[in-house]
Amino acid sequence: MAIFGYGRVSTKEQTTGNQKQEIKAAGYVVDYWHADEGISGKVPAMQRPEFAKMISQIRDGETLVVTKLDRLGRDAYDVGATIRMLAARRIEVIVLQLGKLDITSPAGKLMLTMLAAVAEMERDLLVERTQSGLARAKAEGKTLGRPSRTTPEQRVTIAKRHKAGESISALAREYGLSRASVMRIVAPATVTPKADINRVST
């Protein structure tokens, strides 16, 4: 049965040669080598051209060797989905980073579960830190979110000029704003109060 090797690097300036050499040094004779170069680790495994091509070529019961776990997916969820897909085809997956552990074996699945749990905890801690930081900034009176591209005085002027007859497009061009931004500014000045609508319709 054939042994497939897979490597990935994020930029065109990098090369997967070192990963291929590392797999060879670990004692694996790779029959088919696939590598995605210039592909970010944020891209899901099956959206990487060479990875997808490899999956279409590797046969049930064969072996896939990678150097690190992140070669198999963008995050714990994606890695887990990739592993389950390979395990269903009885493809042995070797990750050198884990000490040549076959992560489709019972011990490997336990390791994968632990790694996924750690990744989930890290995400939760990141969310908690972000929320704490936002709450602290708000308490200190800092303005959150994207800064406004117009001053309060400019917004008043834009609303008045639109009410006087100037078009949304002309105002957007002059102030360097999108039409949607101008419409949000002038909306309060152009909405007819509900009471007035009722009087007109009676």
What integer is the mean pLDDT of 172-187? 86
Distance (Å, rounded) from C-alpha 190 to C-alpha 159? 9
Structure tokens at 182: 């101008």
Per-residue pLDDT at 146 = 63
More confident position, 110 or 165: 165
Residue 48's pLDDT is what? 95
80 shares its domain with 170: no
pLDDT level of residue 50 (50, 70, 90 thresholds):
very high
The reply to whether 129 falls in a domain is no
Of residues 27 and 136, which shows the higher confidence score? 27
Is residue 10 annotated as part of the catalytic site, yes or no? yes
Q: pLDDT tens-digit profile of 107-148?
A: 777 777 777 676 667 667 777 888 887 788 778 777 666 666
What secondary structure does DSSP assign to 150-185, as a single string? Answer: S-HHHHHHHHHHHHTT--HHHHHHHHT--HHHHHHH
pLDDT, position 122: 66
Q: Which is more confidently placed, 114 or 154?
A: 154
Single residue among 107, 136, 170 that ends a domain in this structure = 107
Q: What is the CATH number of the domain that holds 98?
A: 3.40.50.1390
Asked whether residue 11 falls in the same domain as residue 99, the answer is: yes
Contact 103, 93 (CB under 8 A): yes
Q: How far is CA 68 from the centre of its chain?
A: 19
Domain that holds residue 166: 147-188
The number of distinct structural domains making up the chain is: 2
